[in-house]
Amino acid sequence: MCCLPSIVLVLFGLATVSSAAALSDTLYWGGEGYEWFRPTMLTIASLSIIIGLFVYFRNRGICTFDDLKRQRRKVINTSLLVLIIAYLSYLLFNYVILTEVGILLGIEWESSRFWNK
């Protein structure tokens, strides 16, 4: 999600293409004191998934460890499905959609396309 702020700033005309590219590099690679940004965003995303699964299972009546043991397959399958979909969505959004939108806006990200390597 390091590239999203850059694209939003360029779309609203609040930043130039070169400053957006520099911001993306800084947030992604953690330069200039922003080493905390990427791990923080990944932690927030992970916690959101865990809390979402917890709320989902509580609403489905899986509230105790006994309920969890009885419906273990359902919990494991649902959790794995959510994790796989979240990870694939992250890859698609971050490395395909945002990269292509950034290139269309003029940010020099052609070298970051994974199919060009």
**DSSP letter, residue 95:** I
User: Is residue 69 included in any domain, yes or no?
Assistant: yes
- State the total domains in the chain: 1
Alpha carbon separation from 54 to 25, 79, 82 (Å, rounded): 35, 10, 12
User: Is residue 35 included in any domain, yes or no?
Assistant: yes
Question: Which pLDDT belongs to residue 26?
Answer: 84
- Decide: pTM greater than 0.75: no
- Give CB contacts under 8 A, 24+ apart, made by 34-38: 37/2, 38/2
Check: CB of residue 1 under 8 Å from CB of residue 41.
yes
User: Is residue 116 included in any domain, yes or no?
Assistant: no
User: Is residue 117 included in any domain, yes or no?
Assistant: no
User: Is residue 65 included in any domain, yes or no?
Assistant: yes
Q: What is the domain extent for residue 96? A: 4-111
Residue ranges of the chain with pLDDT lower than 70? Answer: 1-2, 114-117
Of 43, 45, 51, the closest CA to residue 79 belongs to 51
Question: Which pLDDT belongs to residue 20?
Answer: 80
DSSP 41-61: HHHHHHHHHHHHHHHHHHHTT
Question: Which pLDDT belongs to residue 83?
Answer: 95
User: Is residue 80 included in any domain, yes or no?
Assistant: yes
